[in-house]
Amino acid sequence: MRKFLILILGLSFIAASCDFGNLLSGESSGTRGVFRSEDGGQTYRSSSQLSKGTFSNLSINSIIFDSTNPLILYVGASNGMYKSEDGANSWRYILSGMIVSDIAANFRDDQIIYAAGIAGSSGKIIKSSDGGTTWIDVYNEPSKNNAVLTIAVATTNSAVLVAGLTNGEIIRSFDEGRTWQAIKDFSDRILRIRFSPSGSVYALTLHSGIQQSKDSGLNWENISSSLTQTGFSNSGSQVTTASAFYDFSYDRKQSGVLYLGTEEGLFRSVNDGGAWSFIKLPLKNASLRTSAVTVDPSNSNVIYAAVAATVLKSVNGGLTWETKVLPIAGSEVRSIIVNPQSANFIYLGVGNKR
């Protein structure tokens, strides 16, 4: 494991003008892109319109709100990044030359944005201090074809960044990306890192599940090991184990409540991973592969989840569900976000199946 990597912030570039080669590997003839609901999930429609054309054929890896204005959104895609300033009515292409796997916003300064991904064969993290107009490199991964898949800004200290790589390594910065330290190697692909409001950091790994640290990444605990080792019952006396993990969400209003999307379905913990319960979804699919899940930030009872082309909504904490099927055959919903100021507005990032 590398111990320290010191990076000099000398290289800057203008968004959408850099060229690291053709990275349109996520392009498809099917519908991908962003979908939006304005009625609390009753209906969804494609919302990927540019001034000329659309990016509805591109795989979306990440979608986030601006830290202060939910009408401003950023999307990380298979060919770069897009920005909307009108709630996804229209978009601008603001970054090319990089597959953007994740985006993080600084909660103290809404102009500071971080993007993680890979350019050519080099994993990297870039930073903008002007809302995506210009960017600088803040991390370049030495090993080839080792993408930075996820990045998060600490909720209690905006100078602290934690990121995860394809090879399972976690890196951390205490100075907004100027210097980095490798702090943990899970030897398992890290799909998502997020900080809770209390400051705990969660890292979701593909096969071993969700890891938690309460000291900004110094020490870690696998809080989903019961799902991969002991197993769970999803119907009758049948016991199985979770084989792959795709997404998680925490409840912003109820500390310790977590939702976890896996190959085998959706799970909930009410004690920060101490125990997990299987949530039955009203689907006849042979597969319950839950690719995305989120909790409405303004209402703990409202939960959204996605299985293949189906988006599910519960308004009673998962007891019952409504379903909507999107016209995205062959794709999956990879991220769901709910407007924190107007819960009727929901945004979906649709991409190729992982």
pLDDT digits (tens, 9 = 90+) for 107-117: 999 999 999 99
Q: What is the CATH number of the domain that holds 192?
A: 2.130.10.10
With cut-offs at 50, 70 and 90, classify the pLDDT of residue 239: low
Task: List the single range of 56-60, 81-85, 224-228 with lowest mean pLDDT.
Answer: 224-228
Question: Is the pLDDT confidence value at 285 over 90?
Answer: no
Tell me the per-residue pLDDT of 39-67, one tens digit each, with 9 for 90 and over: 999 999 999 999 999 999 999 999 999 99
* 218 vs 302: which has the higher pLDDT: 302
Give residue 254's identity as a one-letter amino acid code.
Q
* 22 vs 91: which has the higher pLDDT: 91
Question: Is the pLDDT confidence value at 206 over 80?
Answer: yes
Report the pLDDT averaged over residues 64-77. Answer: 97
Nearest of 327, 349, 328 to residue 337 by alpha carbon:
349
Q: What is the pTM of this model?
A: 0.90
Task: Using DSSP bridges, classify how beta strands 134-144 and 122-128 pair: parallel, antiparallel or unpaired.
Answer: antiparallel
Question: Is the pLDDT confidence value at 312 over 50?
Answer: yes
Tell me the per-residue pLDDT of 118-151, one tens digit each, with 9 for 90 and over: 999 999 999 999 999 999 999 999 999 999 999 9
CA 249/CA 300 separation, integer angstroms = 11
Give residue 226's identity as a one-letter amino acid code.
S
The mean pLDDT value of the chain amounts to 90
Query: Residue 232's pLDDT is what?
Result: 65
| Full domain range(s) for residue 33 | 4-352
Question: Is the pLDDT confidence value at 21 over 50?
Answer: no
Question: Is the pLDDT confidence value at 3 over 60?
Answer: no
Q: Looking at residue 129, what DSSP letter applies? A: S
In this structure, the dihedral spanned by the alpha carbons of residues 271, 252, 154 and 219, taken in order and rounded to 10 degrees, is: 0
C-beta of residue 135 within 8 angstroms of C-beta of residue 126: yes
**How many domains are contained in the chain?**
1
Query: Residue 354's pLDDT is what?
Result: 78
* 313 vs 215: which has the higher pLDDT: 313
Residue 352 sits at the vertex; the CA angle it makes with 222 and 228, to the nearest 5 degrees, is 20
Burial of 190 (C-beta count, 10 Å sphere; 0-12/13-18/19+):
buried
